[in-house]
Structure 1
Amino acid sequence: MQKSYINNFEEWKKEFSFYVPVQVRFSETDMYGHLNNTVPFVYFEHARIEFFNHLGLMQKWLESETDNIPVVADIQCDYVKQVFFEEKLKVYVKIATIGNSSIDLHYLGVNEQDEVCFTGRGTVVQMNPKTGKSVPLNIDQLKQVEV
């Protein structure tokens, strides 16, 4: 399973530790009972926010005196195995790289048999909503996300 953002799949997979559990709801499926192709992005968002909470980053971004917010700059999903109504998944997230004002995240969705259902990646950029410009991550933030 070679993707442009994955060099060695087995090694890449071993690097994940943080995950959120999800169960596929009926409203997330199509008329064939498959997980709708837009839903993994919702799962990525859920995992990303919980991961940032775990790291202590979300709390800083939500403070009323902060001028910066996290914005998804790009995101992609690669579908590997069909997922159906009521399946229980683990959606993993990890930091792949850290830029000046960005964090590149990787995602992995597996079912109860530990079969890969989807993978993904995306970049979150810290920006100032008033200026629309990216803002460098500060020292405290970088300490929280050390890879």
Structure 2
Amino acid sequence: MYKTIIEPRVSETDGVGHINNTTLPVWLEAARNPIFKLFTPDDSFADWRMIILHTSIDYVSQIYFGTNVDVYTWVKRIGKSSLELYEEIHQSGTICARGKAIYVNYNKEEQKPEPIPTRIRKELEEHLYEREGEH
């Protein structure tokens, strides 16, 4: 599991006093940075490998300004050229959101998916989601 701590900003708070729903996709993507780094170590967009195919979020509980949130990212499935992530956002010990994202390892130059290299696959396997009977 990867863990990222995010400090909510005032600008992310909406008119009803909680963090706006449009903020959570940005936080989830920020927490994926260690995974992006595996595929593109120099962060070069010219060599970018991770192309998103799907994302979804279930909003479970409100999130508020003034208290940090913990974003947890697990690898749920590793395919030949794609991977599925399972994500959670927690605040004060309460789960506030669950997310799913599917990415493909993509060669922009050849315009096609490529197999995930063994060294990256091994690293991803260290972060597998292993809770039985959930999600």
Taking structure 2 as the reference length, the TM-score comes to 0.81
Match of 1:48 in 2: 32
> C-alpha distance in 1, partners of 2:54/2:12?
22
Question: Which of 5, 19, 29 is 1:35 aligned to?
Answer: 19
Contact conserved, 1:68 with 1:135, CA < 8 A, in 2? no
Task: Tell me the CA shift for residue 130 of structure 1.
Answer: 2.5
SS in 2 for 1:41: helix
Match of residue 134 from structure 1: 113
CA distance in 2, matches of 1:89, 1:63: 28
Report % sequence identity.
Answer: 29
Q: Is the 8 A contact 1:104 1:121 kept in 2?
A: yes
Matched, 1:117 2:101: no
Residue 68 of structure 1, CA deviation: 5.3
Q: Which runs of 5+ in 2 are unaligned?
A: 129-135
Letter in 1 for 2:13: T
Aligned residue pair count: 126
Aligned to 1:80: 60
Question: Which residue is 2:78 aligned to?
Answer: 98
RMSD of aligned alpha carbons: 2.2
Name the one with the larger helix percent.
Answer: 1
Stretches (4+) displaced over 4 A: none
1:20 aligns to what?
4
Distance 1:132 1:30, change over 3 A: farther
CA contact (8 A) 1:92 1:109 kept: yes
Cα deviation for residue 45 of structure 1 reads 0.8
Task: Evaluate the alpha carbon distance shift between residue 43 and residue 63 of structure 1 in structure 2; reply closer, same or farther with a 3 A threshold.
Answer: closer
SS at match of 2:32: helix
**In structure 2, C-alpha distance between the alignment counterparts of 1:85 and 1:124, rounded to whole Å:** 30
